[in-house]
Amino acid sequence: MQESLVSVNNGTNQLRLSGGLSEWLFSSKFWSNFNAQHGTMFDQFEEDEVNASTAKAIIEALNKGVRSLEEQDKNNIEFVYRWTPDHKPLTTSIPKKLLLSELIAFREFLADAVARDYDITSFL
């Protein structure tokens, strides 16, 4: 699974998103739903610049994602993260607590960048 990197303040601060979280954000349709609602084009394995208003919208969407995960009565979150060439799913399972802690860390990293008026670059 591919990790992602979020960089702020011209690369002086960085947050590495685990492969599990990065893949979950795409598999769960977090980014496609965000893109549809906000007219953005966040895509896996692409570099994007994020302005403050978009970052604030991502923070709110991450808040919703955290609440949604907290409401799930599961210890592990299982999802399809890839398909083989012969159309068989590749799945993984991540402990819900780990996924939540990473989502919260991502949210807080972005919130801090917005508060400090830092430029944000993401490598999703």
Domains for the chain: give ranges and CATH numbers: 4-123 (3.40.1760)
Question: Which residues have a Cβ under 8 Å from the Cβ of 47 and sit 6 or more positions away?
Answer: 121, 122, 123
**Is the pTM value of this prediction over 0.85?**
yes
Give the pLDDT confidence of 73-118 residue by residue, as tens digits.
Answer: 999 999 998 899 999 999 999 999 999 999 999 999 999 999 998 8
Is the torsion defined by CA of 58, 63, 64, 65 positive or negative? positive
Between strands 89-95 and 4-8, the pairing is unpaired
Give me the DSSP letters along 24-56.
HHHHTTHHHHHHHHHT----TT-EEEE-HHHHH
Give the pLDDT confidence of 10-21 residue by residue, as tens digits.
Answer: 788 999 999 999
Distances (CA, A) of 117 to 44, 58, 85, 109: 25, 15, 44, 12
Indicate the residue type of 37: Q
